[in-house]
């Protein structure tokens, strides 16, 4: 299992970063006031962002979750607006019926079936709305929904609307599709949050180098050093867990366990693992590469939880390092904090992460269930 991006992935990240600099800067986000620009949205589609998981035979990129995580880490650094996560996670699942989602010609949002009240992000810009529940995914035409825009949303550039009841829609996915969608959504939300956590570290470091007090940059003061060091560690720990979750999912989906060089189940070559018993099938030695041991669902939930905590804490640190001016509207730090809080609670997650993790462990220990299986 290799967690290091290769040359092609590094080039992909550079391309996405260049597009975001030109079309999704923070200045442009402020100017748009949260409304989506259709041309910029189609540009993301033309670049292949929305077709990340779509089969190359259907004009998609056919990439894995690991590559998608790298893309969304960049999008998070620029606070790219709109339901980009939902669009990418659903594009290949409903591709035959709604190919325009993958091309950027159609904007699809998402709500959880259990949401009460029902709050829809970017409602005025949506063409479709996905209602995700345990039994499947339902797709509703946005024009059929009666919702009231809410004033002063927590994130000023994520406009929201509320409605009391959603109309019946078209079933586009079963229970397995719903679990796959949630897993992808959690991983990509974690990647977006990772981008926020990493970017706020950069902003804080840049300011600490340029801001002088007592004829010295404030970054030379021990108190500031500790704040920045803690923020950096939070970002890197969450990155490690998220990259591991993506690689685990991709390895499990393809059946590739070559990452455990000392324990290759596919070929039956266990000569290098003296602690593994080939005769009895005891593979406890390869804990991070074993198809039966790695729980992708649990890895993603843990990664999203760490990325959420890092994004919120690092955004607060960024505000604190900026001092009194950090609390003003003109400084961008508060925009990262607000987006992090909103995204951390999207699709019925938030504090539920710990409950989901504990339930997963309980089911595995007591009921013999290991969680979702997408192999």
Per-residue pLDDT at 290 exceeds 80 = no
Q: In sequence order, which residues have a C-beta less than 8 Å from that of residue 196 and are 6 or more positions away?
A: 76, 77, 79, 311, 314, 315, 336, 339, 340, 343
Domains of the chain and CATH, by start = 179-367 (1.20.140.10)
Element (H, E) at 118: strand 118-121
pLDDT in tens, 84-140: 999 999 999 998 889 999 999 999 999 998 888 899 999 999 999 999 999 999 999
- Supply the mean pLDDT for the chain: 85
Q: With both helix axes pointing from N to C terminus, report the angle between 65-77 and 222-254 in degrees, rounded to the nearest 10.
A: 150
Sheet with 170-173: list strands edge to edge.
Answer: 108-112, 128-133, 136-141, 170-173
The model's confidence at residue 284, banded by pLDDT at 50, 70 and 90, is very low
Q: Could you tell me if 228 and 201 are in contact, meaning their C-beta atoms sit under 8 angstroms apart?
A: yes
Give me the pLDDT at residue 374, please: 41
pLDDT in tens, 160-174: 999 989 999 999 999
Give me the pLDDT at residue 347, please: 77
Give dist(CA 304, CA 294) in Å, integer: 17
Region of 122 please: left (phi>0), alpha (psi -120 to 50) or beta. left
Helices (H), the chain: 7-23, 26-32, 38-47, 65-77, 84-91, 100-103, 175-210, 222-254, 296-321, 333-344, 352-362
Q: With both helix axes pointing from N to C terminus, report the angle between 333-344 and 296-321 in degrees, rounded to the nearest 10.
A: 150
Per-residue pLDDT at 275 exceeds 50 = no
pLDDT in tens, 175-218: 999 999 999 999 999 999 999 999 999 999 999 999 988 999 99
pLDDT in tens, 6-38: 888 899 999 999 999 999 999 999 999 889 999
Q: In sequence order, which residues have a C-beta less than 8 Å from that of residue 112 and are 6 or more positions away?
A: 131, 132, 133, 347, 348
Give dist(CA 311, CA 339) in Å, integer: 9
Give me the pLDDT at residue 255, please: 55
Confidence (pTM): 0.86
Q: Which residues of 273-299 are buried (b: 16+ CB within 10 A; e: fewer)?
A: beebeeeeeebebbeebbbeebbbbbb
The model's confidence at residue 357, banded by pLDDT at 50, 70 and 90, is low
CA-wise closest residue to 254 among 262, 266, 271, 242: 266
Chain mean position to CA 366:
30
Q: Please state the rounded mean pLDDT for residues 137-160.
A: 94
Give me the pLDDT at residue 115, please: 83
Q: 148 or 353: which carries more pLDDT confidence?
A: 148
Per-residue pLDDT at 267 exceeds 70 = no
Give dist(CA 368, CA 344) in Å, integer: 30
Element (H, E) at 137: strand 136-141
> Which of 56-65, 199-208, 267-276 is the least confident region?
267-276
Residues shown for the chain: 375
pLDDT in tens, 63-88: 999 999 999 999 999 999 999 999 99
Per-residue pLDDT at 253 exceeds 80 = no
pLDDT in tens, 320-356: 999 989 999 999 999 999 999 999 988 766 556 666 6
- Which pair of tokens denotes residue 263? 């324990």
Per-residue pLDDT at 263 exceeds 90 = no
pLDDT in tens, 39-48: 999 999 999 9
Helices (H), 84-159: 84-91, 100-103
Classify residue 216 by its DSSP letter.
E
Angle among Cα 340, 345, 351 to the nearest 5 degrees reads 110
The model's confidence at residue 277, banded by pLDDT at 50, 70 and 90, is very low
Q: Please state the rounded mean pLDDT for residues 261-271.
A: 37
- Residue that the structure tokens 């990418």 belong to: 88
CA-wise closest residue to 70 among 205, 206, 190: 190
């Amino acid at each position: 299992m290799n967690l290091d991006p290769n040359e092609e992935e590094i080039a992909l990240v550079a391309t996405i970063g260049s597009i975001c600099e030109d079309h999704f800067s923070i200045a442009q986000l402020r100017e748009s006031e949260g409304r989506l620009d259709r041309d910029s949205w189609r540009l993301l589609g033309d670049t292949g962002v929305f077709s990340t998981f779509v089969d190359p035979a259907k004009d998609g990129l056919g990439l894995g979750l690991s590559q998608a995580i790298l893309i969304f880490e960049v999008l998070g650094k620029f606070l790219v607006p709109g339901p980009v996560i939902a669009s990418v996670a659903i594009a290949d699942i409903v591709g035959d019926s709604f190919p325009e989602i993958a091309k950027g010609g159609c904007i699809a949002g998402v709500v959880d079936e259990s949401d009460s009240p029902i709050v829809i992000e970017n409602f005025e810009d949506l063409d479709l709305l996905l209602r995700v529940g345990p039994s499947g995914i339902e797709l509703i035409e946005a024009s059929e929904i009666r919702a009231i825009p809410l004033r002063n949303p927590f994130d000023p550039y994520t406009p929201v609307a509320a409605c009391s009841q959603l109309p019946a829609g078209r079933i586009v996915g079963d229970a397995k599709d719903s679990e796959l969608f949630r897993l992808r959504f959690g991983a990509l939300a974690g990647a977006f949050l990772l981008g926020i956590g990493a970017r706020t570290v950069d902003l804080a470091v840049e300011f600490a180098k340029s801001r002088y007090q007592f004829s010295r940059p404030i970054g030379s003061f021990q108190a500031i050093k500790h704040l920045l060091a803690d923020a950096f560690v939070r970002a890197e720990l969450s990155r490690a867990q998220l990259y591991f979750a993506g690689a685990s999912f991709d390895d499990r989906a393809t059946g590739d366990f070559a990452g455990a060089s000392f324990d290759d189940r596919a070929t039956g070559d266990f000569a290098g693992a003296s602690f593994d018993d080939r005769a009895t099938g005891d593979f406890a030695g390869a804990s991070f590469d074993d198809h039966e041991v790695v729980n992708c669902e649990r890895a993603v939930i843990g990664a999203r939880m760490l990325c959420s905590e890092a994004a919120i804490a690092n955004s607060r640190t960024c505000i604190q390092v900026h001092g009194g001016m950090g609390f003003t509207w003109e400084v961008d730090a508060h925009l990262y904090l607000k987006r992090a809080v909103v995204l951390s609670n999207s699709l019925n997650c938030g504090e539920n992460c710990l409950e989901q993790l504990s339930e997963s462990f309980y089911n595995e220990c007591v009921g013999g269930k290991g969680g979702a299986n997408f192999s």
